[in-house]
Chains A and B, each alone.
Chain A
Amino acid sequence: MPPTEQRIILKFADQPGYANDIECYLRHGGYEMLHKAFDMEPGDICHEVELSRLRGRGGAGFPAGMKWKFLDRKSGKPIYLICNADESEPGTFKDRQIIHKDPHQLIESMMIAAYATGTKLAFVYIREEFPEGALILEKAIEEARAANFVGPKILGSDYSCEIIVHRGAGAYICGEETGLIESLEGKRPYPRIKPPYFPAVLGLYQCPTIVNNVETLCNIKHIIEIGGEAYSHIGTPAATGTRIWCVSGHVRKPGYYEFAGGAITLGELIYDVCEGMRPGRKLKAVIPGGSSAKVLRADERFHGHLKDHTSFDWGLKDIPLDYDSFMAVGSMSGSGGVIVLDDSVDMVEALANLNAFYAHESCGQCTPCREGSLWMKKITSRMCSGEARSEDADLLVSISKQIEGRTICAFGEACSWPTQSFVAKFKDEFVAKASEAQSQATGSENGDRLI
């Protein structure tokens, strides 16, 4: 028996007959938590969120309650809430499900968050590639406004708040919160330097701003429902609540699966939940948290100590699905996009693919990422077209080290970690590419080239 999902966020999403209109949502108890929240003090809601130890689901895993706490409330400037629906990390497709199938859950949670933070104007920044999702959200917000859940004097109170859906223009970097803010302001989405532009102090229009991921926000409603304390008992203490894992790649049953933090292992996810590898194929590697997370080898063993000082000795399959375990094995749970690669994959080609993506998506603002990402792409593309050199592997790593930690935003890490981990863990394939190229050049093996 495969482990059964614990669906909280996606509880109704895939139930037969469950529609994304407000009637259906109300029939399933929708907006009751908004009523409940409005009976609470905003400060108490923030406190509950803090108690829940909810961590961000967008990639960095930053505690949401802490983020809210950093809000500069003394400035007297308006506070903005932005829902980051720019889900662009390759391998991630959870927010899309929520938006398409249960948009009112997001709206209700956003309104609770807005009320708790004192926001008068909230935004959903949705990626250009979700045109359908944007329409669904706009329709849902219209419905919610008609029912007085959004807009002026919500539920008859003195509190008013609007939600505006803003569509992106197709840039990965708009998922970076300060890039998103710039884009929302109508500028090129160049991420801002931090310090001084921390969104909680100098965010949208230089006002205090909260940027939360879709899935993160959806949890707010459930925290209100059961209370922060109770919520914190779901999952492990460092990974409270559930997480939606998006599994793609060479498994029999790719898809999105919701589990409590740390409830299952990577092996259970791949072999039980996703029913294992395609016939006749063997697991080769896993990228656990969206394409920028460091790749893990199927035959690796991981030793070390967790944050609570307990030691571990895991194979790939033994890694529990939570933030800290993936950190402990040198990667990250990131956006929850688990990309499974089987033995048919040429790792150099796989890296060339990722490098092409990051070179294409580098915004070009700061030097290391702008020049480094394209350079790495040019190298891996060349390696894949039969012109690999023996020094390329080391050169790739050296370039990536010159990017990592030296850029304005985390894109520097995002584009350098794949290269670092692919070369470190599959160096043999990079070396083989070079000797292959050499032997083809001299024609010593397998006769003439066909192309």
Chain B
Amino acid sequence: MTGRDDNLISVFIDEEEFLVPPGTNMVEAARLAGKEIPHYCYHPKLSVTGNCRMCLMELGMPLKDHSTGEPIIDRRGLQKIGWMPRPAIACATRAFPGIHIKTDSELVRECRNGVMEFLLVNHPLDCPICDQAGECSLQEYAADYGRGYSRFVENKNVKPKRTRLGPRVMLDDERCILCSRCIRFCKEIAKDDVLGFVDRGSYSTLTCFPGKDLQNNYSLNTVDICPVGALTSIDFRFKMRVWFLKETPSICAESSVGVNTHIESREGKIYRITPRRNDEVNDTWIPDSGRILYKSIDTDERLIHYTIDGSHTLVDGAAKEAATLLREGAVAVVGSGRASVEEQYLLGKIASAVKAISVSLVSRTGDGDGLLVSADRNPNVRGALLTGLITSLPHANLGGLASAIESGEVRTILSFGEDLTQCGVEKQLLEKVNVIYFGSHCNETGEVAKVVFPTLTVFEKAGTFINQQFRLQKFLPAVPGPQGVLPDIVSLGKLCSILDGEAIPPTGPEGVWAEMNTEIPQFSAIDFENIPINGILIDGSQWEHLPFIEGMSLHYDPDNNRQIMAEVTKSK
């Protein structure tokens, strides 16, 4: 075993040797070896119950002489393998040195065929009207292990078809294969033990405990992990066939956790948001509250025109007018913790080009739930720190700005996405100054603004956020924005190039990164294209003394993160 990683042990899957970490279960070991062991009840982030029996495989161990402890060698000169007479479940079998498994023998196929047949005998087979169709494990494995015809001529069991488990989750008990993933999720992850089975045998039925509802903020994850169509989202059911949906990797902007998501859309319309697995951030989960954020993008309140004093113009006209106002000086810039790293960088450049007398960020706070919603509801405060837009943590109130307007010290305000009337600056006060407003939706600040730049939402543009762990994560556009609205980077870039005289403004995040990675040492060697899909840790040790408000959450511990930062610094 020389030259190999000492922490790995060798396992033999279908007579081929692979190295895996000790204790890896055989479903995962096979996955590492590029083989799929079919399973229903096993879920990598939940406890193992081994009830579906789909992952049965043959298990063998190297034989040793009982008396001498010496390996027994066969004629080929290899250690003899003692194959267990009974098949074993892969999910509960952990790797030990020399373990042998067969994942494709006749017995294994027979076992899978048997389990498959059993799962289907009382299944309603209502795929044509089932929302799970297309992403259903039963369908997938039935194609591999199904008989193709039914030997079952008896009456199928009848169970409740429509049970509202809570405000967002609907249960069809006939489709349920009793894998207990949802029960384990509620108990182990959401810490809201409300689901269980009643009745016995094939009549077992999933239900909520008496007087309880499945209403925690993570309830829709049960729908994601349900391997069949038993649990469906009340919001999504019957809306769209899943095979039509395009998955775009994105980041949830709900809080500084930075949950990895897939935006699922068809023909420019978003139908649902699902979690994207990232074992360093959100595992395979997402809060329900993060799934509905897209609902506001298609409203009448959307800003869709570049305007000067209320009359429509084009982006260049708006930029020119904004530049004129900004050049007059006495500028205050209000940035946003919801803007992307690129936008914050460009905003910072504008601020320094016009020698802004103040640059502030508006904080958004709430209670952290200890799981995937943190106390900081701005997804990208750390981006503002790294790009140099701000140097201290944001406040909820811009009282200082209000008095600066009052005193005449500030004559122009550039607000990027923030409604200043919501953070301590009265509308009457704003009317006294020139407001340049970048925003996606109408609000009072937009109403009084002299120049308005419509912006895109996170679902419509590309960019990056830096989450509470100082992890840089990127999102891509899932749907096009309103017609005529350019990406925020373009608007900001145009304004920027007028102000600092640079010839070619960036047209996308790639261009901004080409600049940032030379300007900002922590970003050196990073290009937008090469940011890994699971994100990359940025050295944030320079800011670790700041009183960040986030508490513990799923993969974040404020104290521990300082150590992680120290390691990132060292490795640089």
CB-defined contacts of B199 to chain A, threshold 8 Å = 364
B248 within 8 Å of A (CB atoms): no
B97 within 8 Å of A (CB atoms): no
The answer to whether B86 touches A405 (Cβ under 8 A) is yes
Bound CA–CA A398/B151 (angstroms): 11
Q: How far is the CB of A398 from chain B (nearest CB, A)?
A: 8
Q: How far is the CB of A446 from chain B (nearest CB, A)?
A: 26
Bound CA–CA A311/B560 (angstroms): 70
B508 within 8 Å of A (CB atoms): no
The answer to whether A359 touches B51 (Cβ under 8 A) is no
A282 within 8 Å of B (CB atoms): no
The answer to whether B118 touches A362 (Cβ under 8 A) is no
The answer to whether B122 touches A371 (Cβ under 8 A) is yes
Bound CA–CA A367/B86 (angstroms): 16
Stretch from B109-117, B356-364, B407-415, B509-517 that touches the partner: B109-117
Contact of B155 among A364, A378, A395, A401 (CB under 8 A): A378
A408 within 8 Å of B (CB atoms): yes
Contact of B201 among A193, A360, A398, A405 (CB under 8 A): A360
Contact of B202 among A374, A389, A407 (CB under 8 A): A374
Contact of A367 among B87, B110, B177 (CB under 8 A): B177
The answer to whether B201 touches A370 (Cβ under 8 A) is yes
Interface residues of A in 360-380 (CB under 8 A from B): 360-368, 370-375, 378-379
The answer to whether B155 touches A370 (Cβ under 8 A) is no
A382 within 8 Å of B (CB atoms): yes
The answer to whether B87 touches A405 (Cβ under 8 A) is yes
Interface residues of A in 381-436 (CB under 8 A from B): 382, 389, 395, 398, 401-403, 405-408
The answer to whether A368 touches B154 (Cβ under 8 A) is no
Contact A365:B114 (CB < 8 A) given known A370-B178, A370-B202, A375-B154:
no
A196 within 8 Å of B (CB atoms): yes
The answer to whether A360 touches B114 (Cβ under 8 A) is no
Bound CA–CA A375/B197 (angstroms): 20
A279 within 8 Å of B (CB atoms): no
Interface residues of A in 172-225 (CB under 8 A from B): 188, 190, 193, 195-196
A171 within 8 Å of B (CB atoms): yes
The answer to whether A366 touches B51 (Cβ under 8 A) is yes
CB-defined contacts of A367 to chain B, threshold 8 Å = 51-54, 115, 118-119, 177-178
The answer to whether B121 touches A364 (Cβ under 8 A) is no
Residue of A nearest to B110 (CB): A402
The answer to whether A193 touches B48 (Cβ under 8 A) is yes
The answer to whether B53 touches A375 (Cβ under 8 A) is no
Task: Kindly state the interface size class of chain A when it binds its partner.
Answer: 35 or more
The answer to whether B201 touches A363 (Cβ under 8 A) is yes
Q: How far is the CB of A127 from chain B (nearest CB, A)?
A: 15
Bound CA–CA A389/B151 (angstroms): 12
The answer to whether A188 touches B196 (Cβ under 8 A) is yes
Residue of B nearest to A171 (CB): B200
Bitwise interface map of A from 37 to 58 toward B, beta carbon under 8 Å scored 1, else 0: 0000000000000000000000
User: Which among A370, A371, A398, A403 has the highest number of chain B CB atoms within 10 Å?
Assistant: A371
CB-defined contacts of A171 to chain B, threshold 8 Å = 200
Bound CA–CA A363/B204 (angstroms): 8
Contact of A359 among B52, B86, B202, B204 (CB under 8 A): B202
Q: How far is the CB of B292 from chain A (nearest CB, A)?
A: 34
CB-defined contacts of B197 to chain A, threshold 8 Å = 188, 364
Bound CA–CA A389/B153 (angstroms): 11
Residue of A nearest to B155 (CB): A378
Interface residues of A in 22-37 (CB under 8 A from B): none
Q: How far is the CB of B186 from chain A (nearest CB, A)?
A: 15
Contact A406:B111 (CB < 8 A) given known A367-B51, A368-B118, A370-B178:
yes
Contact A406:B204 (CB < 8 A) given known A371-B121, A378-B154, A395-B151:
no
The answer to whether A361 touches B111 (Cβ under 8 A) is no
CB-defined contacts of A389 to chain B, threshold 8 Å = 153
Contact A371:B53 (CB < 8 A) given known A405-B86, A406-B111:
no
The answer to whether A371 touches B111 (Cβ under 8 A) is no
The answer to whether B204 touches A364 (Cβ under 8 A) is yes
CB-defined contacts of A395 to chain B, threshold 8 Å = 151
The answer to whether B118 touches A402 (Cβ under 8 A) is yes
Q: How far is the CB of B110 from chain A (nearest CB, A)?
A: 8
CB-defined contacts of B50 to chain A, threshold 8 Å = 193, 366, 408
CB-defined contacts of B114 to chain A, threshold 8 Å = 368, 401-403, 406
Q: How far is the CB of B503 from chain A (nearest CB, A)?
A: 67
CB-defined contacts of A190 to chain B, threshold 8 Å = 49, 51
B420 within 8 Å of A (CB atoms): no
CB-defined contacts of B54 to chain A, threshold 8 Å = 367
Contact of B152 among A365, A370, A375 (CB under 8 A): A375
The answer to whether B201 touches A364 (Cβ under 8 A) is yes
Bound CA–CA A364/B178 (angstroms): 8
Interface residues of A in 292-337 (CB under 8 A from B): none
CB-defined contacts of A374 to chain B, threshold 8 Å = 122, 157, 201-203
User: Contacts A362-B201, A375-B118, A378-B155 given; 20 further ones with Cβ under 8 A?
Assistant: A190-B49, A190-B51, A359-B202, A361-B200, A364-B202, A364-B204, A365-B49, A365-B51, A367-B52, A367-B53, A367-B115, A367-B119, A367-B177, A368-B115, A374-B201, A374-B203, A382-B154, A405-B87, A406-B87, A408-B53
Which 7 A-B residue pairs are closest in the complex by CB-CB distance?
A402-B114, A371-B118, A364-B204, A378-B154, A362-B201, A374-B202, A193-B50
Question: Can you list 26 A-B contacts (CB < 8 A)?
Answer: A193-B48, A193-B50, A193-B92, A359-B201, A360-B201, A362-B200, A364-B202, A367-B51, A367-B53, A367-B54, A367-B119, A368-B118, A370-B202, A371-B121, A374-B201, A374-B202, A374-B203, A375-B121, A375-B152, A379-B154, A382-B154, A402-B117, A405-B87, A406-B114, A408-B51, A408-B53
